[in-house]
Amino acid sequence: MDKRLPPGQQWIDEPLIYDINKNFSIPEEKDIHLYIVGEVKNPLKIPYLEIISSGNLSKIKADFHCVTGWSVKDIEWEGILAKRIIEVVKPSEDVKWVFVKCYDGYSASFPYEFFKKDDSLIAVKMNGKILPKEHGYPFRVVVPSLYAWKSAKYVHTVEFLKDEKKGFWELRGYHAVGDPWKEERYG
């Protein structure tokens, strides 16, 4: 038995591509920003070009688990660690949820406690290269401890909330948390 593989999953070589909308636009690089808002002391608007040219990206290597039953080993992500964002924006003590908004109309929500983990980040690179569009360019929230639908692609805004706000799949009956080790697929 593979201790890295959650119940109901099987290993594959590359992540499959799922999108809710293929017809959407992303601004030119010079106009792309990551917004960190909500119940925070210091909201942020960070230019994409500043992030990718900073030379100060953090790396994590993590397995990636899709709710449909596949998993991919050791994907390397580079970006801004969630804990660094948290240190700067200083969320309210009452924050319990993170809500993510994306260029394609997608959204995802998950408990704040998972975003605070050491391996959660906002990725701009995957396996040593700028995120390809199909994997979430310009920004992808990566929360390895949850199913991949929580690791939203095409992100432009991360919002800290006191109360749950359901994202795209949560509104359609998926689990509010999505822990693959507990097989939290549906609410």
Distance in angstroms (rounded) separating the CA atoms of residues 81 and 123? 8
State the pLDDT at residue 187.
Answer: 83
What residue has token string 């909308």?
A: 21
State the pLDDT at residue 170.
Answer: 97
Q: Which two tokens stand for residue 55?
A: 């030379």
* 77-92 pLDDT tens trace: 999 999 999 999 999 9
Can you list the alpha helix ranges (DSSP code H) found in 33-187?
48-53, 82-89, 112-115
pLDDT band at 127 (very low <50, low <70, confident <90, very high): very high
Mean pLDDT, rounded, for 116-121: 97
* 35-71 pLDDT tens trace: 999 999 999 999 999 999 988 999 999 999 999 999 9
pLDDT band at 1 (very low <50, low <70, confident <90, very high): low
Distance in angstroms (rounded) separating the CA atoms of residues 42 and 132? 30
Start-to-end C-alpha separation, the chain: 28
pLDDT band at 11 (very low <50, low <70, confident <90, very high): very high
pTM, to two decimals: 0.95
Which residue segments constitute the domains of the chain, with CATH numbers given?
30-182 (3.90.420.10)
Q: Is 90 helix (H, G, I), strand (E, B) or coil?
A: coil
Contacts of 43 (CB under 8 A, 6+ apart): 35, 36, 37, 89
State the pLDDT at residue 55.
Answer: 87
154: left (phi over 0), alpha (psi -120 to 50) or beta: left
Q: Is 65 helix (H, G, I), strand (E, B) or coil?
A: strand
Residue 98 has pLDDT above 80, yes or no: yes
The CA-atom distances, in angstroms, between 123 and each of 11, 32, 34, 80, 127 are: 22, 14, 11, 7, 11
Q: Which two tokens stand for residue 123?
A: 């990725």
Q: Is 63 helix (H, G, I), strand (E, B) or coil?
A: strand
State the pLDDT at residue 133.
Answer: 95
DSSP-derived secondary structure letter, 132: P
Residue 71: beta bridge partners?
11, 65
pLDDT band at 116 (very low <50, low <70, confident <90, very high): very high
